[in-house]
């Protein structure tokens, strides 16, 4: 879910070609959840499955969307979440309840034949299992795409790597990477193209968005610590929902008036078990470490075995993807050429 900072942040719309030659550390869980939510049957809400009942929406999204990034000259490095902080447990439990409720509403919508409700509630019921995560890692390796296992939150590790100069930007739909301090955040990287607006029969052309943290802070007259405090008031993964009645604009005003966390919290009703200072410290100094980006090698046979033989993807289409991946790999001259 992440924190909602959209009212305070101005992003720059860019063409995908702008990212040619750049390495992007992508929040893997965030991206895979997108695929599980979006790649579904329009009328039933069911995700893609093979004949054995195994969900394949995430694999479909990864193979086709990642190959598009590679075609555009982008070097993606997927960062998988590690162990979440103990104080995220409440969020995990709440999300399980939300998904259960969404699943019940989804079944009801199917009975009613309400296509829009089917889409909405089936997306909310999306689940990412351990088997899906392992299959995703295996697929990326077979594609020759690098991935890393973060010690904790994937966005924290991606932000750390960006600030170390190891990658050019973090890639995620959530704003949390900014709270973790990434210099640059790229959104819409895996959802570019035509996209339907929720609840409307309207389609828009979605382009990547670039957000520069320094620009965000300077334009709003904030320090990074104050941006995190705003996030805490609005609600993060560690205090879901935030303070009742406070959205980004109200949070911004309170932080501008009070400046410091203690003074801000003293004037609101804090209803969470965790101390706000603990959340602030986690964002400012999250568990992240130096990690070498392993170079993976394209393995066409293993890729076809995984997708065509095991999960029944169309062989002709996968062969075309492999051909494109092979051409892309031949044109690469090492990781250094992707730093931009």
Say what the pTM is: 0.89
Write the CA distances from 100 to 10, 95, 121, integer angstroms: 35, 9, 10
Q: Give all strands (DSSP E) within 207-258, no chain letters.
A: 209-212
**What superfamily would CATH give domain 1-217?**
5'-nuclease (3.40.50.1010)
Closest CA to 297 of 167, 146, 149: 146
Write the CA distances from 48 to 42, 51, 67, integer angstroms: 11, 10, 19
Tell me phi and psi for residue 295, to 5 degrees. Answer: -85, 120
pLDDT in tens, the chain (340 residues): 567 787 788 889 999 999 999 999 999 999 999 999 889 988 899 999 999 999 999 999 999 999 999 999 999 999 999 998 888 877 777 777 888 888 888 888 888 888 888 888 888 878 889 999 999 999 999 999 999 999 999 999 999 999 999 999 999 999 999 999 999 999 999 877 666 555 566 667 789 999 999 999 999 999 999 999 999 999 999 998 899 999 999 999 999 999 999 999 999 999 998 999 999 999 999 999 999 999 899 999 999 999 999 999 999 999 999 998 988 655 444 433 334 4
Residue spans of the domains in the chain: they are 1-217, 221-286
Number of other residues whose CB lies within 10 A of the CB of residue 2: 18
CATH fold of 221-286: DNA polymerase; domain 1 (1.10.150)
């Amino acid at each position: 879910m992440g924190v909602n900072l959209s009212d305070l942040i101005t992003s720059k719309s860019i063409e995908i070609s702008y990212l040619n030659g750049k390495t992007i550390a992508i929040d893997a869980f965030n991206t895979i959840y997108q695929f599980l939510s979006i790649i579904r049957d329009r009328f039933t809400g069911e995700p893609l499955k093979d004949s054995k009942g195994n969900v394949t929406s995430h694999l479909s999204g990864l193979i086709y969307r990642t190959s598009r990034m590679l075609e555009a000259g982008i070097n993606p490095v997927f960062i998988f979440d590690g162990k979440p902080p103990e104080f995220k447990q409440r969020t995990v439990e709440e999300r399980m309840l939300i998904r259960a409720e969404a699943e019940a509403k989804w079944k009801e919508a199917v009975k009613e034949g309400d296509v829009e409700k089917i889409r909405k509630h089936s997306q909310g019921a999306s689940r990412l299992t351990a088997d899906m995560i392992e299959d995703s890692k295996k697929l990326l390796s077979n594609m020759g795409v690098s991935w890393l296992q973060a010690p904790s939150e994937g966005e924290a590790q991606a932000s750390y790597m960006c600030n170390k100069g190891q990658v050019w930007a973090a890639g995620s739909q959530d704003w949390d990477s900014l709270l973790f301090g990434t210099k640059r955040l790229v959104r819409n990287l895996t959802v570019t193209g035509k996209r339907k607006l929720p609840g409307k029969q309207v389609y828009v052309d979605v382009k990547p968005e670039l957000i520069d943290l320094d620009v965000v802070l300077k334009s709003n007259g904030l320090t990074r610590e104050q941006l995190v405090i705003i996030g805490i008031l609005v609600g993060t993964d560690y205090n879901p929902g935030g303070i009742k009645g406070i959205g980004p604009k109200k949070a911004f005003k309170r932080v501008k008036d009070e400046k410091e966390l203690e003074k801000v919290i003293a004037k609101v009703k804090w209803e969470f078990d965790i101390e706000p200072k603990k959340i602030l410290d986690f964002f400012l100094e999250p568990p992240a470490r130096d990690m070498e980006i392993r170079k993976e090698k394209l393995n066409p046979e293993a890729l076809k075995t995984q997708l065509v033989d095991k999960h029944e993807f169309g062989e002709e289409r996968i062969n075309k993807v492999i051909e494109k991946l092979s051409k892309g790999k031949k044109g690469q001259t090492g990781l250094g050429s992707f730093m931009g």
